[in-house]
Each structure stands twice: as C-alpha cells, then as structure tokens.
C-alpha cells in the first residue's frame, strides 16, 4: 500500500519542476504538462522531501522508470 504524500513533498515536486524549467533530466523533453517531480530515493523507502531528492522527468521517462525499463543513477545528481 502506498503512503499518501504530505504537502511538503508535493510542494517540492512543483519546485523542482520550476527550477529545472520542466526539462526531463533523461530525454530533455520540455512539455510542461508532462513534467513530473520524481523522488531519487523513493518516498516509499523514506525518501525525503528535500529538494535535493528530486529530479524532473517527463511522463514517458517516469512511466519507464516505474516499469523497470529505465534506470537512474542517483549518484549522478
């Protein structure tokens, strides 16, 4: 069962998208409506709401990541 995200996480997800100009850090897609604030260390694994724990992903890359088709090296960030 997934935990409901507190407002602090939602706020930081919005902020990372704004800071990174809605630019996907994997494929460079800039479609604003598709941007996702993604936790590098998953919230379900106690990932923090700190801005340094987020990157912007487009919807396609976000889906690929969660389907196991895309790996993200968190040490790159």
Residue 1 is assigned to a structural domain of this protein? no
Query: What's the pTM value of the predicted model, to 2 decimals?
Result: 0.82
Domain membership flag for residue 40: yes
> Is 2 part of a structural domain of the chain?
no
Res 1: pLDDT:
42
Q: Are 37 and 68 in contact (CB under 8 A)?
A: no
The fraction of the chain above a pLDDT of 70, given in percent, is: 94
Give the structural domain span for 16: 7-76
* Domain presence at residue 62: yes
Distance from C-alpha of 12 to C-alpha of 34, rounded to nearest angstrom:
17
Position 3 scores a pLDDT of 61
CATH number at 54 reads 1.10.30
Q: What is the domain count for the chain?
A: 1
Residue pLDDT, tens place only, 6-39: 888 889 999 999 999 999 999 999 888 889 999 9
Within a domain: residue 39?
A: yes
């Amino acid at each position: 069962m997934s935990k409901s995200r507190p407002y602090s996480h939602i706020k930081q997800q919005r902020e990372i998208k704004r800071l990174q100009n809605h630019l996907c850090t994997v494929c460079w897609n800039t479609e604003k409506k598709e941007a996702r604030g993604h936790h590098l260390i998953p919230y379900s694994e106690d990932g923090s709401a700190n801005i340094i724990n987020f990157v912007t992903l487009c919807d396609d890359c976000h889906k690929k990541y969660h389907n196991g088709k895309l790996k993200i090296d968190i040490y790159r960030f």
